[in-house]
A = this chain, B = another copy of it.
């Protein structure tokens, strides 16, 4: 009762102009709701392939979702072709047409006449409002199988994502009797998949309704538990407690929490302020920290001391240290963190200096070598890491190590 086929329409997807972000978003949302997406396909913006793709999944799908092709131009065919396939005449919905006119009025423009086609609704369809564009979403009962619906969603992600969240999800919960499903992601750093698996799985063998999955990202592994079935609630809560306990050394947050949001939130709770001193990561650390709304309460300043001169001038790193140990050294990382903290009003400073590559490595310090320092009033610690990846992966992995090192230090510090 929960098998899904996802049909993405769009020639731009098949010529590789844009990435298909809908696939990941919708598959994850639907899986968490208790659906099983069994098939996804992409077809060009042409009537025949759209209809053929729908016909092909009608025999088995409980839910069919299409994306794209609801706009006002000549290659937007989804609404018309699907309405025709199910023999549902299109009728203008005056409410939608006023919404479209209002959308343009707010932008001080008259609604272009061609946008009026977006007010057409197949007979018997439910309408999902579009708060970020003009084409509403549409849900029609196919009449081919009991309880089978076909849902059409707009192509632009900034329209589809909030529509799915606010309109489609409640609709699906109402029209499908899905087994209650519980999911939680534990976000970890500092251990590989197999280590995490060995920590957790021996304790979960009795919980037959709990599935566990691992997903390795850049410097992070997500451990995901999911439970469905009659005893799901009870088994899920037992599994959650076990996983939370066993992963304590590595887990920095759950679900949508990121290392940077956790760090900002710890600093805000404690009323502490932060400064960063980056070399090889070039500002990626301060960029990620300042993506968190409210960062300005705790983040004072970032130094991106790319040259040796900048390290000396702005962080008061000794030129003797640079000469004797090199810019990429534990000693330089220590002086960078201390200089950053002492020359500002920050409570914590984090420093990063390393060799991003492709050039600049040596036998003693190969490409990927990085030193990370954290300084507070109790002292300064430096760790050495080796991240032998391409330049961008190096930066991404390194800032996660720095954020986690900082997070642990903040947690340990006296409140």
Residues in A lying within 8 Å of B, measured CB to CB: 12-21, 23-31, 37-44, 49, 56, 213, 215, 224, 276, 278, 280-287, 289-291, 293, 295-296, 299-307, 309-310, 313-314, 344-345, 356, 358-359, 391-392, 395
Closest to A31 in B: B15
Residues in B neighbouring A40, C-beta threshold 8 A: 13-14, 41-42
* 21 A-B contact pairs sorted by A residue (CB < 8 Å): A15-B27, A16-B28, A17-B28, A17-B213, A18-B215, A20-B20, A20-B24, A280-B290, A281-B287, A282-B287, A282-B289, A283-B287, A290-B306, A291-B391, A291-B392, A291-B395, A295-B306, A296-B306, A301-B307, A302-B304, A310-B344
Task: Kindly state the separation between the CA atoms of A273 and B38 in the bound complex, as whole angstroms.
Answer: 55
CB nearest neighbor in B for A345: B309
User: Does A304 lie within 8 Å of B291, measured CB to CB?
Assistant: no
**Taking the full assembly, how many copies of this chain does it contain?**
2
Residues of B within 8 A of A42 (CB): 23, 39-41
Cα distance A14–B31 in the bound complex, in angstroms = 8
- Say whether A290 contacts B283, CB under 8 Å: yes
Residues of B within 8 A of A28 (CB): 15-17
Interface class of chain A by DSSP:
mixed
A273: nearest chain-B partner, CB-CB: B307
Of A16, A21, A49, chain B has the most CB atoms within 10 Å of the CB of: A16
CA of A231 to CA of B400 in the docked complex: distance in angstroms?
Answer: 53
Docked pose: A362 CA to B190 CA in angstroms: 43
Contact between B283 and A215, CB atoms less than 8 A apart: no
Q: Is the CB of A287 within 8 A of B21?
A: no
Given contacts A300-B307, A306-B302, contact A38 B27 (CB under 8 A): no
What is the chain B residue whose CB lies nearest that of A274?
B306
Expressed in whole angstroms, the Cα–Cα distance for A205 and B24 within the complex equals: 40
CA–CA, A302 and B19, complex, Å: 32
Counting chain B CB atoms within 10 Å of each CB, which of A43, A224, A283 scores highest?
A: A283
